[in-house]
Amino acid sequence: MRHFSNLIFDGRLCSQIKGKIVQAKTRVLVIGGGLSGLISASLLAKSGHEVSLFEKKHYPFHRVCGEYISNEVIGFLKREGLFPKHVDSPGIENFEFSDTLGNRTQLKLDLGGFGISRFVLDQWLVDRARAFGVEIIERANVIEVKFDPKEDLFELELASGHRVQGDFVVAAHGKRSKIDKVLNRSFIQKRSPYIGVKYHIKANLDHKVVALHNFEGGYCGVNAIEDQKFNLCYLGSREQLRHFGSIEKMEQEILWKNPLLKAIFNESYFLLERPEVINEINFEPKNPVEDHLLMAGDSAGLITPLCGNGMAMAIHAGKLAAEAIQKGRSRAEVERIYRVNWDREFRRRLWVGRWTQKLFGSPFSSRLAFHILDKSPFLAYKIIKNTHGIPF
Ligand SMILES: Cc1cc2nc3c(=O)[nH]c(=O)nc-3n(C[C@H](O)[C@H](O)[C@H](O)COP(=O)(O)OP(=O)(O)OC[C@H]3O[C@@H](n4cnc5c(N)ncnc54)[C@H](O)[C@@H]3O)c2cc1C
DSSP state of 21: B
Task: Give the CATH number of the domain where residue 266 resides.
Answer: 3.30.9.100
| Dihedral angle sign, alpha carbons of residues 80, 392, 44, 287 | negative
The Cα 223–Cα 214 span in angstroms is 15
CATH number reported for the structural domain that contains residue 313 in this entry: 3.50.50.60
Judge if 42 and 164 occupy the same domain: yes
Distance separating alpha carbons of residues 240 and 194, to the nearest angstrom: 10
* Percent of the chain residues past pLDDT 90, beyond the cut: 80
Both 207 and 264 in a single domain?
A: yes
Report which protein residue has its CA nearest ligand 1's atom 1.
196
> What does the pLDDT average to over 208-228?
96
Say if 263 falls within a structural domain: yes
Does position 200 have pLDDT exceeding 50, yes or no?
yes
Do residues 176 and 182 touch, judged by C-beta distance below 8 A?
A: no
Q: What is the pLDDT of residue 365?
A: 83
User: If you average pLDDT over residues 185-200, what whole number do you get?
Assistant: 92
Q: Return the pLDDT at 40.
A: 98
Domain span at residue 235 reads: 68-117+191-282+357-386
If asked whether residues 124 and 175 sit together in one domain, one would say yes
281 lines ligand 1 (CB under 6 A): yes
235 lines ligand 1 (CB under 6 A): yes
Same domain, 171 and 304: yes
Per-residue confidence (pLDDT) for residue 191, from 0 to 100: 85
Q: Is 67 in the pocket of ligand 1 (CB under 6 A)?
A: yes
Contact 120, 90 (CB under 8 A): no
For ligand 1, whether the C-beta of 56 sits within 6 Å is: yes
- Does residue 392 lie in a domain region? no
Mean pLDDT of 344-371: 86
| pLDDT at 12 exceeding the cut of 90 | no
pLDDT for res 368 = 84
**Residue 20 pLDDT:** 37
| Ligand 1 site, residue 384, Cβ cutoff 6 A | no
Are 309 and 297 members of one domain? yes
Q: Quick one: which atom of ligand 1 is closest to the CA of 312?
A: 11
On the question of pLDDT at 18 being above 90, the answer is no
Residues 369 and 343 occupy one common structural domain: no
- CB of 180 shorter than 6 A to ligand 1: no
Q: What are the tens digits of pLDDT across the range 115-135? A: 999 999 999 999 999 999 999
Tell me whether residue 372 is in a domain: yes
In short, whether 310's Cβ falls inside 6 Å of ligand 1 is: yes
- Centroid of ligand 1 to alpha carbon of 3 (angstroms): 27
- Does residue 294 sit in the same domain as residue 146? yes
Q: What is the pLDDT of residues 296-318, one digit of tens each?
A: 999 999 999 988 899 999 999 99
Residue 381 pLDDT greater than 90, yes or no = no
Say whether both 317 and 211 belong to one domain.
Answer: no
Q: What pLDDT is attached to residue 3? A: 39
Q: Cα–Cα distance between 111 and 162 in angstroms, integer?
A: 45
Per-residue pLDDT, 21: 41
Do 111 and 146 sit in the same domain of this protein? no
Q: Tell me: do 312 and 218 sit in the same domain.
A: no
Q: Cα of 315 to ligand 1 centre, how many Å? A: 11
Residues 249 and 128 in one domain: no
Q: Is residue 154 within 8 Å of residue 164, measured between CB atoms? A: no
Distance between Cα 174 and ligand 1 center (Å): 5
pLDDT of residue 356: 86
Number of domains in the chain: 2
pLDDT of residue 15: 33
**Within a domain: 260:** yes
User: How high is the pLDDT of residue 17?
Assistant: 34
Residue 364 confidence class, pLDDT cut points 50, 70, 90: confident
Question: Which of 196-200, 321-325, 352-356, 357-361 shows the lowest mean pLDDT across its residues?
Answer: 357-361
Residue-averaged pLDDT of the chain: 91
Report if residue 346 sits inside a domain.
yes
Quick check: is 391 in a domain?
no
22 and 142 within one domain: yes
pLDDT, tens digit, 9 for 90 and up, residues 259-277: 999 999 999 999 988 999 9
For position 370, what pLDDT does the model report?
83
Asked if residue 295 is part of any domain, the answer here is yes
- What is the distance between the alpha carbons of residues 65 and 307, in angstroms, rounded to a whole number? 12
